[in-house]
Chain A
Amino acid sequence: MADYLVDEMSPYHLQMSMFVTTIREQGDEAQRNHWLPQIEAWKIIGAYAQTEQGHGSNVRGLELQARWDPKKKEFELHSPTLTASKWWNGALGRTATHAIVVAQLLLPQIQTPSIDAADDAEPRYVSHGPHPFVVRIRDQDTHQPLPGIVVGDIGPKYGYTSMDNGYMLFNHFRVPHAAMLARYSRVDPETSAFQRTGSSAVVYGSLTNVRANIIMHARLVLARAVTIAVRYCSIRRQFKDRDALDTESIPETVVLDYPTVMIRVLPLLATTFALHYTGEAMYELYRRSRESIEGGDFGSLAELHSTSSGLKSLCTMYAADGIEICRRAMGGHGFGGGSGLVQINADYLSKPTVEGDNWMITQQVSNYLIKKMTAAVEEPHMESKDALSDHFRRYLKQRTTARPQEVITSNGTIDDTALVEAFKWRAATLSYQAYQQRIVQKQRWNTLLISLHKLSRAYSESILVTNFHSALQNSPLSEPTRSTMRDLFHLYALHTIDSDARTFQTTGALSAVVLDAIPDRVLDIMTQKVRPHAVKLVDSWAIPDYLLDSALGRYDGKVYEELFQKAHRENPLNRVTFNVDWRSSEIVKGDKDSEARILAKL
């Protein structure tokens, strides 16, 4: 919690996340007993070093080698190229004493005796793919890198300034047999044979956990941005209403009352709640599959993995783009340091890339959906083991006969169930099309990537809408909060439809008539239903001023006073007086050497 409130990427962050999780999940019992107490006592500080300069997305392409030496029974870590340098690894640059280092495990090929083999020739080595090793990298006392290791900070970034992301190279650096985390695979020290002791897919378990966290985090990040934008835009006034009869006496319009401001901010407000309910659902899913994995059943892993991939992509995109939309909705002051969105924006922009690039990982979702659809097509009468297969089978039965959903009934009310069905129908149709293209017509994967990206998004949207809807069904909320939540549900769903209207039409989920009516309906929900409660809705996220750190988003609305305070009193530049005459080499008044001082730094 304290970490959340300080809101700065701490150099210790990795210690408490990836470092400890990896050891806990992938270390064998002896390794856990050895490392965990030291980590908990902060005797060692860890980093997670997987990504290299040349490879991030493609983990199998990592170049760092861990070569097993059967004589000394040690591994030798070595970086054969510059691109093998570890890169981006948080806390590695200046802080960490240890790191989990992911390297290609190279083992000597088990020799089949051949006639002309020279007996003492170097054994041939074969790669067994990337594996994690725990390595001490800096001296306990001097904190200098150990001999054979070159490590440093990679330099300034878009955000994440407070974190020392690092690089690291190894020169024939030796580590003991125990360094390789051995819960699921190990090297037999006697025979040098590679042994697997569980599903390798388990390795993705901790990644999935991280992704579930990312979704829960996305909702809070977006809620912060929306809180600031809603509060500031309901204080900021600009222009008088041009249709007003008496322009002299009326005050200027609050900018949140302009629909072009609402259309940017209020759907995002609705999105924060959509993310909230799906985040909760994801945790539940993670908890359940974790239970069955510990019990030896890996069946749910595929669903967990693909759902989390699709949602990670969609939710971090919502939050990252949402912050920027909120920032711009605030005009000039949104650009200033007092907006409170500068750092969060820059820091958060790493999220669309880390833990699986948002574009790339959508392939995993679509791949999974195509598999599920293939199974449903090939065995239409099998009993479905999960909700998705069941839905696909039902879809296949109705595919040719179904008619578009009437989500807006003739008297103008919105049918919530039909709304959810429309999203599911669209996702199923796109899955079916992808199945047709890839499995039946055998089109190249690469030509399908763009459609697959859209499919993943459509599927993830259907999950968000479904979870939002079922949360409303089971909601303990009382009126009038309950109906406002329902308005937010409508706003999220209809606005999402409007942003990609024609796929709802081409997939037969909705009719053109309904689609044409949606923009006005969205405007109506925003102005009549959501706008009046906007400030209270953001207040309900209960984000303290300390965390917001924003002049514009203050709970008490003292925007202008605070902006002035920050500019005037807390700004070091105002303590310097400059000599602005272009002929003078004096840059700072009274500092005759200022030019030389500046040049020396360049």
Chain B
Amino acid sequence: MAPTPQWVKELKPSGPQGHELLKQERAKSKLPVEQLSQFLFTRGGLERKHGILAILEKEKVFYKSQNYFAGRVDRFETALARAKRLRQLTVQHGWSVEDFRAATELISEPGPYGLHESMFLITLRDQGTPQQREKFYKPALNYEIIGCYAQTELGHGSNVRGLETTATWNAEDQTFTIHSPHLTASKWWIGSLGRTANHAVVMAQLVIAGRSHGPHPFVVQIRDLKTHEPLENIHIGDIGPKFGYNTMDNGFLLFNNVKIPHFNMLARFSSVDPQTNRYMRPSSPSLVYGTLTWVRSTIVMQAGGVLARGVTIATRYCAVRRQFQDRDAPEWEKGENQVLNYTMVQIRLLTLLAATYALHFTGKGMMQLYETNQNKMSQDVGQVGSAQRGAGPEETHSGSDLLADLHATSCGLKSLASTIAAEGLETCRRACGGHGYSSFSGIGPWFADYLPTTTWEGDNYMLSQQVARYLLKSARSVMKGEKPTNDTTQILSNFLAKSDIGAAFDVLGRDEDIVAAFAWRTAFLTFEALKHRDEQKKAWNDLLVDFYRLSRAHSQYLVVKNFYETLQSPSLTAELDPETVTVMYKLFRLHSLHTLENEASEFYTSSAVTVRQIQLARTSAVMRLLEELRPHAVRLVDAWDFPDWQLDSSLGRYDGKVYEDMFYRASEQNPLNAITVDPYPDSPVLFKKNDSAQFKSKL
């Protein structure tokens, strides 16, 4: 490729320059960015991140410049090299789990050890007996064996009880035979399985003497530890390219009557007695659900940050991007308008900016709830009347049961938070216009990797049924006159007590009334659903759409409530100065009122608000909040403290040098430009010249 001519190197973007515009933006607001970052992440958290960043930046293997250009095989190879290096660094620096997580967040691509480091280890730890932990968990911790978590099959994902892989107990030699009877029994989607893992936790139907006891976890070695080739009668591979997640080798796996010893069934909660050949029931099935709840809670926890990346990029870019003059601008303000000044752009971006804060505080609340529950469970061990419990949390007690509340909350919030984050990222990308479509925007690839979160750990639509089930149970207990024992039963009782009188919430005047209006709508929808199910005896399946709406309403209430409670907490006023606190309140109102307006119909039907209030919410309240928050926009995204290295985005650069960066990547880093084509259709030659190999090695 011809070297870049001097006259091109000397060109500058037309003024005002991006860095000047961002400087102006930062001057418009006095928000103390550092203080706010500390409030969000703690000083320790920030120091950790920057310390680790300093280490990673120096390592060539983590250079990101070719990420957007490389094809799948190249990307996977690089991802494996990175995963190894990360492990080496972890050992070398003695990194803690938090350090390690901070590092993966900075690198931000799924890696080939991903499922080993998460579900494989967690399952061995939580579901293995002490002997099994010794045998499997310990070597796994040291990466002597590398594993994955193989539950989903070609034919079944959501319905775990429908899995087809069998583990048949052989009494004569005290082994299990793992077998895939159909093509649809093939394990599928399993992260780290395709090319990496040599072990798997396999979920299979336990069959004893012809009788099935449902899916159970088994540890199976699947590849030779030396040659890394699949073992005999095991067929493994990568399932091919996907929408995103292409640095991960999601795999398939088939068994042809493979025998494993009795020891390999993870037996902490249930097992087969080798003497009597009898199945031993789970002692406390709810403990099994602990892992799931934890995973969902982390999804909720991360959703705010996931979205904030897109919002940071789009907000900074839209402050640099200028297009058209304001129609009503006076003569002397002739320049083009920053697109962030258009209310059409603000209604998309500033509302999402508010959502990032709402989700962050909700995530924190969710984690606290999880920890409270863990503490309580460890106190309660032995007391829980486990015998009456069936297999799933849907059969646990209602109302007072913290676990049921935790389970429902984690389902509903996982569904809502990951939907907001995924859809919000796409909104951010589109808000950037044409340049949003470039990979260099950094939003598209990030979005593509995030999307499966809406499907895994419970499909977002399906999960809503769990929330509805819990709310219906709670409503039944309230109807029976049982005393409220938690917030859910409390809001339901309030509603029941006042439903005849009606409510008059001053949502435009009082913040606590906003929260109350959200609670009211949830309660209204809950009793409506109850009427359909219990009085009108409607089929469960006919109510699914209502349930989805109910779950969404309830989760939106939880987000609004968490945000409001954070504002009320003493730590807020202690750590933030009054002006910042005021801005936080405005973000709260923007998020709540915008949500209210989008769901206007339900708020109106439940009589929580009047049509007039809904109209005013949009035409005056939301519009005013957009205007008041606009000057703080750039500082509010700065507070999320994403290093440029992590964003890897031309549009989202901290210094606003958008155009220079885009041009540099296109002209200096782009291997396609080392190819000269023959353009004429009747010529059989495709490439006249191809210097791309040299080009790459030159970099």
A259–B336 touching, CB < 8 Å = no
Are A446 and B66 in touch, CB under 8 angstroms?
A: no
Give CA–CA (A258, B460) in the complex, Å.
14
Binary B-proximity of A150-170 (CB < 8 A = 1, otherwise 0): 101111111110001001010
Instruction: Please tell me if the beta carbons of B670 and A153 are within 8 angstroms of each other in the complex.
Output: yes
Interface residues of B in 69-96 (CB under 8 A from A): 69-70, 72-74, 76-78, 80-81, 83-84, 87-88
Closest to A57 in B: B323
User: Are A332 and B455 also in contact (CB < 8 A) when A243-B541, A350-B437 are?
Assistant: yes
A-contacting residues, B432-462, CB 8 Å: 433-434, 436-440, 444, 451-452, 454-456, 459-462
Q: Digitize B170-211: 1 where CB-to-A-CB distance is under 8 Å, 0 elsewhere.
A: 000000000000011010110000111110000000000000
User: CA–CA, A81 to B539, complex, Å?
Assistant: 66
In the complex, whether A387 has a CB less than 8 A from a CB of chain B is: no
CB closest chain-A residue, reference B546: A519
Q: Whole-angstrom distance between the alpha carbons of A169 and B9 in the complex? A: 11
CA distance A360 to B324 in the complex (A): 11
A43 CB contacts on chain B under 8 angstroms: 680
The interface residues of chain A lying within 8 Å CB-to-CB of B545 are 259-260, 263, 519, 523
Residues of B within 8 A of A450 (CB): 343-344, 347, 618, 623
The answer on a CB contact under 8 Å between B14 and A335 is no
- Decide yes or no whether B143 CB sits under 8 A from chain A: yes
Output the nearest chain B residue to A453 by Cβ-Cβ distance.
Answer: B344
Question: Are A573 and B195 interface neighbours, CB within 8 A?
Answer: yes
Q: In this assembly, does A242 line the interface, its C-beta being within 8 Å of a C-beta of chain B?
A: yes
Check: A353 CB closer than 8 A to any chain B CB. Answer: yes
A476 to B155, CA, bound (A): 43
Which of B68, B228, B249, B455 touches A579 (beta carbons < 8 Å)?
A: B228
| Chain B CB within 8 A of A576 CB | yes
- Selected from B336, B461, B619, B667, the residue in CB contact (under 8 A) with A260 is B461
How does the 8 Å CB contact mask read for B223-256 relative to A, with 1 for contact and 0 for none? 0000111000000011111111100010010000
Give the total of B residues in contact with A, Cβ under 8 Å: 142
Cross-interface CB contact of A600 among B77, B619, B697, cutoff 8 Å: B697
- A-facing residues in B1-45 (Cβ within 8 Å): 2, 4-5, 7-8, 11-14
Given A252-B159, A445-B327, decide whether A336 and B433 contact each other with a Cβ distance below 8 A: no
With contacts A155-B438, A583-B88 taken as known, whether A57 is within 8 angstroms of B666 at the C-beta atoms is: no
The interface centre, meaning the residue of A79, A144, A601 with most chain B CB atoms within 10 A of its CB, is A601
Is the beta-carbon distance between A154 and B438 smaller than 8 angstroms?
Answer: yes
CB distance from B558 to the nearest CB of A (A): 21
In A9-23, the 8 Å CB interface with B consists of: 11-12
Is there a chain A Cβ closer than 8 Å to B604's Cβ?
yes
Contacting pair A572 B87 (CB below 8 A):
no
Q: Which of A334, A498, A501 contacts B455 (CB 8 A)?
A: A334
Considering the chains assembled together, what is the distance between the CA atoms of A570 and B186 in angstroms?
A: 17
Residue of A nearest to B62 (CB): A602
- Judge whether B328 is part of the interface by a CB distance below 8 angstroms: yes
A63 to B323, CA, bound (A): 12
> At the interface with chain A, which of B283-291, B308-316, B512-520, B671-679?
B671-679
A53–B650 alpha-carbon span in the complex (Å)? 13
Instruction: Across the interface, name the chain B residue whose C-beta is closest to A154.
Output: B666
Are A335 and B242 closer than 8 Å at their CB atoms? yes
Bound complex: CA of A481 vs CA of B461, how far in Å? 32
Q: Quick check: B240 and A337 within 8 Å, CB to CB? A: yes
Q: Collect the chain A residues with CB atoms within 8 Å of residue B604's CB.
A: 502, 505, 512
Q: Which among B73, B81, B183 is the interface contact of A572 at CB below 8 angstroms?
A: B73
Q: Does A201 contact B (CB under 8 A)?
A: no
User: Which of A56, A94, A567, A595 is the one whose CB lies under 8 Å from B434?
Assistant: A56
- Residues 117-138 of B contacting A (Cβ, < 8 Å): none
Contacts of A567 in B (CB 8 A): 237-240, 252
- Report yes or no: A143 in contact with B688, Cβ–Cβ below 8 A: yes
B430 A352 Cβ-Cβ under 8 A? yes
Give, as a whole number of angstroms, the nearest-CB distance from B624 to chain A.
10
If A576-B73, A577-B228, A578-B228 touch, does A516 touch B605 (CB 8 Å cutoff)?
A: yes
Is A252 a contact of B162 with CB atoms below 8 Å?
yes
Q: Which of B152, B228, B696 has the most CB of A within 10 A?
A: B228
Q: Would you call A523 and B189 a contact (CB within 8 A)?
A: no
Are A83 and B13 interface neighbours, CB within 8 A?
yes
Cα separation A83 to B673 with both chains bound (whole Å): 20
Question: Are A12 and B681 touching (Cβ within 8 A)?
Answer: yes
Chain A: CB-nearest residue to B84: A582
CA distance A86 to B40 in the complex (A): 42
Interfacial chain B residues near A93, Cβ < 8 Å: 672-673
User: Looking at chain A, what size class is its interface with the partner chain?
Assistant: 35 or more
Interface members, chain A 316-341 (any B CB < 8 Å): 324, 327-328, 331-332, 334-339
Evaluate contact between B673 and A152: CB separation under 8 angstroms: yes
In angstroms, Cα B563 to Cα A545, docked, is 50
* In the complex, chain A residues whose CB is within 8 Å of the CB of B438: 154-158
Q: A82-B663, A573-B73 are in contact. Are A561 and B183 (CB under 8 A)?
A: yes
Q: Which residues of A contact B215 (CB under 8 A)?
A: none
| B157: interface (CB < 8 Å) | yes
Q: Which residues of B contact A579 (CB under 8 A)?
A: 228
Near A by CB (< 8 A), chain B positions 315-336 give 322-324, 326-328, 336
Smallest Cβ-Cβ distance to B11: which chain A residue = A82
Q: Which of A160, A258, A502, A506 has the largest count of B CB atoms less than 10 A from its CB?
A: A502
Q: With A335-B242, A563-B154, A567-B252 known to touch, is A53 a contact of B659 (CB < 8 Å)? A: yes
Question: Of the candidates A88, A97, A446, which one forms a contact with B328 in the assembled complex, judged by CB atoms under 8 Å apart?
Answer: A446
In the bound assembly, the distance between CA atoms of A276 and B52 in angstroms comes to: 55
A1 within 8 Å of B (CB atoms): no
Determine if B665 is an interface residue (Cβ-Cβ < 8 Å).
yes
B682 interface residue (CB < 8 Å to A): yes
The answer to whether B194 touches A573 (Cβ under 8 A) is yes
Name which residue of chain A comes closest to B543, CB basis.
Answer: A259
Would A353 and B143 count as touching, CB distance under 8 A? no
**Docked CA distance A570–B677 (Å):** 28
- Provide the residues of chain B in CB contact with A159, threshold 8 Å: 437
The answer on a CB contact under 8 Å between B73 and A560 is no
Tell me the complex Cα distance, A357–B430, Å. 9
Q: Give the docked Cα–Cα distance between A349 and B434 (Å).
A: 10
A560, B326: Cβ atoms closer than 8 Å: no
Whether B280 is near chain A, meaning CB under 8 Å from some CB there, is: no
Give bound CA distance, A598 to B67, whole Å. Answer: 12
A54 touches B659 (CB 8 A): yes
Chain B residues, CB < 8 A from A560 = 154-155, 183-184
Contact residue among A336, A445, A598 (Cβ-Cβ distance under 8 Å from B81): A598
CA distance A221 to B455 in the complex (A): 23
Given contacts A53-B659, A353-B436, A602-B63, contact A152 B158 (CB under 8 A): no
Asked if B699 lies at the interface with its beta carbon under 8 angstroms from chain A, I say: yes
Asked if B327 and A58 make an inter-chain contact with CB atoms under 8 angstroms apart, the answer reads no
Q: Is A592 interfacial (CB-CB < 8 Å)?
A: no
Q: Which residues of A contact B76 (CB under 8 A)?
A: 573
A93 and chain B: residue at smallest CB distance: B672
Partner of A602, one of B66, B676, B680: B66
Lowest 7 A-B CB distances belong to which pairs?
A158-B444, A582-B87, A82-B11, A81-B14, A449-B344, A156-B439, A567-B239
A-B contact pairs, 13 of them (CB 8 A): A81-B13, A82-B14, A154-B438, A239-B159, A259-B545, A328-B455, A498-B601, A501-B600, A512-B604, A564-B186, A574-B194, A579-B228, A582-B88
**Using a CB–CB distance below 8 Å, which chain B residues touch chain A?**
2, 4-5, 7-8, 11-14, 60-61, 63, 65-66, 68-70, 72-74, 76-78, 80-81, 83-84, 87-88, 112-113, 143, 146, 152, 154-159, 162, 183-184, 186, 188-189, 194-198, 227-229, 237-245, 249, 252, 322-324, 326-328, 336, 341-345, 347-348, 426, 429-430, 433-434, 436-440, 444, 451-452, 454-456, 459-462, 464, 539-545, 547-548, 600-601, 604-605, 611, 614-615, 618-619, 623, 659-660, 662-663, 665-667, 669-670, 672-673, 675-682, 688, 696-697, 699
Known: A158-B429, A571-B238. 10 other contacts (CB 8 A): A144-B2, A359-B345, A446-B342, A519-B545, A523-B542, A567-B238, A567-B239, A568-B252, A573-B73, A577-B227
